[in-house]
Amino acid sequence: MPVDDIKVAQKSLLDWFNSNKRDLAWRKTNDPYKIWVSEIMLQQTRVDQATPYYHRFIKRFPDVYELAKAPQDDLLKIWEGLGYYSRARNMQFAANQIVEDFGGKFPDSEKDVRSLKGIGPYTSAAILSIAFGKPFAVVDGNVIRVLSRLAGIEEDVRKKEVIKQIQHLADEFLNHDNPGDHNQAVMELGATICTPKNPKCHSCPLQLQCTATKLIKTDTIPYKSPAKKRPHKHIGVGVIVDDENRLLIAKRPNDVMLGGLWEFPGGKKENDESIEQTITRELEEELGVTVETGGKITEIKHAYSHFTITLHAYYCRITDGEPLAKSSQEIRWVNRKELQDFPFPKANKQLTELLVE
Ligand code: SF4
């Protein structure tokens, strides 16, 4: 785009943003800590879903010191249901880095921000531009859609080289006088006007400069090659009940998916096994006990980003051995009401709700 057109487009975009932006809690602050929290929460998560979590999180952990010293169970309980739990664990790690390496003050250079755990190019650019007014252009899903349509990029946006091309465009298009609002404006446009289906081009401040709308190609740009089909796994879990009617739960190791969350022990069904055999084998491996399975409690389906599961839950009773935390951080016997105090991943959470009832 010629420089003059870029300037016109930047101004139309900012004017539109100033009159149309949604009233979001994290837009009322320049505090880099709060902007960081919102940006991490908004990854892979819709605004309406993230908003109540954001309020609860800021209330419980109002600054980096509170987050750094929080017990992990408290942190994951606040995050429960939001998914991608490594985000929360990484934030706590980064909060400790900020306390120890930067005296509790959020760093304001790209090098230092990128040294924080869990902060990649997108989050770094968002914090530096929004909180500190520094000229870094963000590229997320919304920006990819807006800029690929604006420039008429027809190649597959799943390809790395195409993303690089879009990052280059975003850098060129960035308004250096107000990079924070400019970045938010492009993302806002993608979220509310330049939507994946039926973009509202007639209300768009970039309509005059937009290639996709001129060529009537908004249906085919951006092009995404089909995603691979997600594999499906059957998971057998054992709800072990003891003589006092307490249930056994285990805390997942920190370095695995859903790390730090609690669950009922169990695992993936192998090809020739029945689900009862899976549970018996898994509980032997994970806890060192022999169990006998009893009645089936429920079946729960759940989708993760790379696979889907059916969780099959059965009551169990230990017939031999004392349970040990062989493949978890910790195990605990709890009564049914206490289950609500622990952070569980979604499918297990549904199971706890059934058990509490
Ligand atoms: S004119 Fe339409 S396709 Fe182009 S950026 Fe605006 S909303 Fe998107």
Residue to mutate (ligand 1; options 198, 201, 214; most atoms within 8 A of CB):
201
Co-location of 161 and 250 in the same domain: no
Residue 288: how many CB atoms within 10 A of its CB?
A: 15
The rounded Å distance from CA 181 to ligand 1 centre is 19
The rounded Å distance from CA 209 to ligand 1 centre is 9
In total, how many domains does the chain have?
Answer: 2
Q: What is the bridge-based pairing of β-strands 262-263 and 247-251? A: antiparallel
For residue 220, being part of any structural domain is answered with no
- Secondary structure string (H, E, C) spanning 322-351: CCCCCCCCEEEEECCHHHHHCCCCHHHHHH
Q: Which atom of ligand 1 is nearest to the CA of 207?
A: 1
Co-location of 186 and 289 in the same domain: no
The rounded Å distance from CA 156 to ligand 1 centre is 18
Co-location of 286 and 323 in the same domain: yes
Q: Collapsing DSSP states into helix, strand and coil, what is residue 54? A: helix
Range of the domain at 256: 232-356
Q: Which atom of ligand 1 is nearest to the CA of 210?
A: 4
Ligand 1 neighbour 201 (Cβ under 6 A):
yes
The rounded Å distance from CA 194 to ligand 1 centre is 5
Structure-derived torsion over alpha carbons of residues 300, 305, 308, 313, reported in degrees to the nearest 10: -30
Q: Which of 184, 214, 244 is the last residue of a domain?
A: 214
Summarised one tens digit per residue, pLDDT across range 91-122 is 999 999 999 999 999 999 999 999 999 999 99
Strand order in the sheet with 308-320: 266-268, 232-240, 308-320, 290-303
Co-location of 344 and 264 in the same domain: yes
For residue 222, being part of any structural domain is answered with no
Q: Say which amino acid occupies 287.
A: L
- Rounded Cα distance between 127 and 189, Å, is 19
Co-location of 178 and 256 in the same domain: no
Q: Collapsing DSSP states into helix, strand and coil, what is residue 234? A: strand
For residue 226, being part of any structural domain is answered with no
Co-location of 58 and 170 in the same domain: yes
Among residues 39, 188, 282, 286, which one is catalytic? 39
- For each successive 10 residues of the chain (357 residues), what is the average pLDDT? 82 97 94 97 93 97 98 95 93 98 97 97 97 97 97 96 97 97 98 97 96 96 93 97 96 93 96 95 96 96 93 97 95 95 95 92
The rounded Å distance from CA 1 to ligand 1 centre is 15
Residue 192: how many CB atoms within 10 A of its CB?
A: 14
Hey, which bits of 107-183 come out as E strands? none
The rounded Å distance from CA 178 to ligand 1 centre is 22
Residue 345: how many CB atoms within 10 A of its CB?
A: 21
Co-location of 24 and 141 in the same domain: yes
Q: Which atom of ligand 1 is nearest to the CA of 200?
A: 7
pLDDT of residue 308: 96
Among 118, 73, 59, which Cα is nearest to 91's? 118
pLDDT of residue 5: 80
- Rounded Cα distance between 248 and 331, Å, is 7
Q: Say which amino acid occupies 49.
A: Q
Summarised one tens digit per residue, pLDDT across range 153-205 is 999 999 999 999 999 999 999 999 999 999 999 999 999 999 999 999 999 99
Co-location of 195 and 269 in the same domain: no
154 in catalytic set: no
pLDDT of residue 266: 96
Co-location of 243 and 332 in the same domain: yes
Co-location of 137 and 249 in the same domain: no
pLDDT of residue 4: 73
- Look at ligand 1, atom 4, and give the residue with the nearest C-alpha: 210
Among 199, 237, 242, which Cα is nearest to 336's? 242
Residue 229: how many CB atoms within 10 A of its CB?
A: 7
Residue to mutate (ligand 1; options 153, 206, 208; most atoms within 8 A of CB):
206
Co-location of 190 and 242 in the same domain: no
Co-location of 243 and 193 in the same domain: no
Ligand 1 neighbour 207 (Cβ under 6 A):
yes
Q: Which atom of ligand 1 is nearest to the CA of 211?
A: 4
What value does the mean pLDDT of the chain take?
Answer: 95
CATH number, residue 245: 3.90.79.10
CATH number, residue 127: 1.10.340.30
For residue 87, being part of any structural domain is answered with yes
Residue 152: how many CB atoms within 10 A of its CB?
A: 14
For residue 313, being part of any structural domain is answered with yes
